[in-house]
Structure 1
Amino acid sequence: MPAPAPPGALDDSPAARRREQRGWYFYDWANSAFYTTVISVFLGPYLIPVAKTAACAQDFPGMAADRCVAGFDQLAIDNPGLGYVDVLGADIRPAAYFGLIMTVAVLLQIVFLPIVGALADHIGRKREMLGGFAYIGALATMGLYFVEGDRYMLGGVLFVVANLAYGSSVVVYDSFLPQISTAAERDTVSSRGWAIGYLGGGLLLALNLVLYLQHESLGLAEGMAVRISMMSAGLWWAVFTIVPLLRLRNRPAPAHESTALRSVGGSFRQLGRTLAELRRYPLTLLFLVAYLVYNDGVQTVIGNSAAFASEALKLDKTVQISAILMVQFVAFFGALLLGRLAVAFGTKRTVLASLVVWTAIVVMAMFVGERQALQFYLMAFAIAIVLGGTQALSRSLFSQVIPKGREAEYFSLLQISDKGSAFIGSLTVTVALQLTNSYRIAIVSMIVFFVVGFVLLALINLPKAIRAAGNEVPERI
């Protein structure tokens, strides 16, 4: 029988860890609703017409709002210089507005998340920080219910706040993993959280699909159904965050800095030292660059898929939501499939093959016909097959080319890049839309990211990179 923990000490028995782990899983269940319901499905296709309504009221005041929004693209072509909305003094096309706020949100994460991580490590009050960021994000998400008419700026501000809080909360959430699991448990615990997140996000999206399909029989306008769906993601996030807050426990913070401000400065100095040290591992640096390039393309395609379906393909939200639902569940099995292929043919070859599929997907986007739901479903299915596997296998490869004993330090680079992922991609889409007003061209522009990423990854001598990092080369890589 194990000895009782000393007074004041945390119980670190297997039973206590399992209790925390079960609570930890629920935060992935809670926050995945925001990404799936708001970012992946509803906000882009909803916010763009809101911005168009504002542009119509400004530039075409004599025309009925519904008629103006329906024919907005042609009106903008026929009236050069009109059809823009004001964003802090800049004229932005409504079609580019969602890409713009996504770019701003991602840029703020790149700047802010290292500070969040430094403060969490310094003060040790991770549970309180997790709850604070979670509820800021949840309240901002619930506030999207009030975005209607021409309130495009309100929608943009609320989304930026919610997205920044979401990223900040995930940084704190991830930092609990090594505290609540042993090295032997970590893969299992992390994988379960990931899987439960897919289930939580998919379940709420399924409920919102029912609401959207039945909105007329329920006496709701389409816009009201969308607003309720977005609000439900915030409510889901807030309610289920209670579980990890009750289960997770703070640990004593190490006394490595005298003040929180110095801790923040120290985090940036350490990041700088790690980046400088990468010069000793040029192939590791090349892999990191390759990953950043093609992962930028992956995240941008996913982030703009709903808006592409709405604006370029003229598909209704029922098709969009059901496609995202399919992706939620097929992606899990796709990751398992690519894992098996990696065992059979090698991880590098499998990732390179997945990038060929991604390239084919964005080329396919140019030829998908308007209102051709089956073609869109086929494209979504192809995305689902390679989505999870591309990222999971890339992380596996990265773990092979970093020095032992420095894993957390080097993986922090990958974490920051993931949180700031799609910045250049989002900017590329925004510029393409600003110049062409075509979502097809904007999505096809992502081919550059997959081709460049493929070439960079193909150039890497992985066995040499693994040996340079001091690791043993696996039998098949």
Structure 2
Amino acid sequence: MQKNNPSIINAWCMYDWANSVHALVIVSSIFPVYFSATALSISGTPNIHFFGLEIKSSILFSYTVSVSFLITALIIPLCTAIADFTGKKKRFMKFFCYLGATSCMLLYFFTKDTLILSVFLFALSLIGWSGSIVFYDSYLPEIATEENYDRYSARGFSMGYLGSVILLLFNLSMVLFPQFYGITEKALPARISFFTVGLWWILFAQIPFHYLPSQHIKREKNGRWLLNGFTELKKVYFQLKDQPYLAKFLSAFFIYTMGLRTVMYVATIFGASELKLPSQSLIITVLLIQLVGIAGSFAFASLSARIGNIYALMVGVTIWIFICTGAYFTTEAMEFYIVACAVGLVMGGIQSLSRATYSKLIPENTQDTASFFSFYDVSEKLAIVIGTFIYGTVEYLTGSMRNSILALLLIFVVGLILLSRIPSQKVYQYELDRNGN
């Protein structure tokens, strides 16, 4: 297959356009605000009963994210094994896509009376989103050459930001001006928003599903073929001994992703529960983050071209340290908006750059990119599990989200230290050339 085919690259980027509405509407904006307003006790407090346990709604939100990504980390190796032996990687990408999108549409029925079911649907939407991303990411080395990884990865994230902003603007208009749509029920605009996410996701996913190449190579089954996904992860793990820079990068990536992705999942809950900001302000803030994020993705791609991927990532993680410091002292709405703009600047940039950096550090001529990206995505999922669990647990033990932010700050500091152990990609390439590789 010819790499860098414009039609295939554009179709690949369209999956970011399709699925990013979940990250924006469900994870970051309307759903967390609606969840905070709906997951209340009879007396109106955030302490609710969930399967007989009394738990604060914000902690339940964090733990739901943790459990969802733990499940994903456990089942993805099984799915990649089946995909390898059947040659049907795209079908698994479709399955997870439809699982996540359908769960979003069913959140239309989220009310106080359906809280427990809705928590499970939220979890399934996360599993569907994260599961499909594993197979989506693994296409990048198959359809593009290394010198284009940064650019195409940034393009995908930017397409995701743009598409999700368009849908959020429509949903936001329903929330702010329901009378324009003939809506009189206060909660209905948010519930319609959840349905539109699933519909948008399914419709635009048909473009990459049509253009992305299908696997035709099947492996012969052995006695334990179903466990092959875990075997492949083990093989990748042992290969890291011969790839010291890749191993160091994954260690740093695992740590700073704990902080980065946790912030993405709990920022709106923090604004709603800790700062008591109105829902409209929170949703507009998330919209602002997305717009800044478009520029941020390309800015970090440009920065990496100048100083190398690792140094650009170090700049991003340093900014995250300042963000956590600022968030800890934030008490006013304007301060929250300033912090949010900083989040938008580095959020997408670091994610796209991390994906591109990993693609570059994978050993050359690697045929089984799915195994390497399965390892990458499982690492990311476990980082989210640990990060959101730490955040929720610190809040549970101390009673304050601000102390959870201090824990995230420490995580970013450790991530920066680990990144500093890795030379820039230019130094790395020089050593490869010097050794004749």
Q: TM-score, normalised by structure 2?
A: 0.87
Question: Amino acid of the residue matched to residue 46 of structure 1?
Answer: Y
d(CA) in 2 for partners of 1:410, 1:28: 20
**How is 1:75-474 mapped onto 2 (pairs within 5 angstroms)?**
83-87=47-51, 89-177=52-140, 180=143, 190-215=153-178, 218-248=182-212, 250-254=214-218, 256-258=219-221, 262-345=224-307, 347-369=309-331, 372-395=332-355, 397-398=357-358, 402-406=362-366, 408=369, 410-460=372-422, 466=428, 471-472=432-433
Partner Cα distance (1:190, 1:385) in 2 = 16
Whole-Å separation in 2 of the counterparts to 1:149 and 1:425: 28
Number of positions where the alignment pairs a residue of Structure 1 with one of Structure 2: 431
2:110 maps to a residue whose letter is V
Asked if structure 2 preserves the Cα contact closer than 8 Å seen for 1:52 and 1:94, the reply is yes
Query: 1:141 offset after TM fit, Å?
Result: 0.7
Look up the equivalent residue of 1:391 and give its one-letter code. Answer: Q
Which residue number in structure 1 is paired with residue 16 of structure 2? 28
List per-residue Cα deviations over 1:100-121 (Å, max 9, x = no partner): 1111111011111222222222
Instruction: Identify which of 7, 32, 49 aligns with 1:44.
Output: 32
Contact 1:50 1:151 in 2 (8 A): no
CA distance in 2, matches of 1:392, 1:189: 9
8 Å CA contact retained: 1:24, 1:248: yes
Max radius of gyration: which structure?
Answer: 1
- Deviation track 1:116-161 (CA, whole Å, cap 9, x = no partner) reads 2222222123444333332222111111111102422111110111
**Under a length normalisation based on structure 1, what TM-score does the superposition of the two structures give?**
0.80
CA distance in 1, matches of 2:49, 2:70: 22
Q: Is the 8 A contact 2:150 2:353 kept in 1?
A: no
The alignment partner of 1:85 has SS state of strand
- Give the 3 Å change call, closer, same or farther, for CA 287–363 of structure 1 in structure 2: same
Higher RCO (CA 8 Å, separation ≥ 6 residues): 2
Question: Residues 146 and 359 of structure 2 are in contact (CA less than 8 Å); yes or no, is this contact kept in structure 1?
Answer: no
After superposition, the Cα gap between the structure-2 partners of 1:23 and 1:283, relative to the gap in structure 1 and judged at 3 Å, is closer
Query: How many Å apart are 1:352 and its aligned residue?
Result: 2.6
Distance 2:313 2:101 in 1: 35
Residue 175 to residue 334, structure 1, CA distance change in 2 (3 Å): closer
Change (3 A) 1:328 1:31: same
Unaligned runs of 5+ in 2: none
- SS of 2:32's equivalent in the other structure is helix
Q: Alpha-carbon deviation of 1:167?
A: 1.9
CA distance in 2, matches of 1:182, 1:358: 30
Deviation at 1:299, TM superposition (A): 0.6
CA separation of 1:452/1:129 partners in 2, compared to 1, >3 Å: closer, same or farther? closer
Could you tell me how far 1:435 is from its partner in structure 2? 1.9
**Is contact 1:137–1:163 with CA below 8 Å preserved after alignment?**
yes
Deviations 1:289-318 (A, max 9, x none): 122101110110111111111111111222
Query: Does the aligned pair in 2 maintain the 1:177–1:186 contact within 8 Å?
Result: yes
AA of the residue aligned to 1:306: T
Distance 1:253 1:195, change over 3 A: same
Using the aligned pairs only, state the percent identity. Answer: 29
Q: Secondary structure at the match of 1:422?
A: helix
Mapped to 2, the partners of 1:94 and 1:411 lie a distance apart of 34
Supply the RMSD in Å over aligned alpha carbons: 3.1
SS across alignment from 2:50: strand
Comparing 26-35 with 188-197, which one deviates more in the overlay? Answer: 188-197
TM-superposed deviation, 1:182: 6.4
| Structure 2 counterpart SS, 1:52 | coil
Quote how far apart the aligned CAs of 1:359 are. 1.3
Structure 1 residues 93 and 346: alpha-carbon distance in aligned structure 2, compared to 1, 3 A threshold: same
* More moved, 162-171 vs 197-206: 162-171
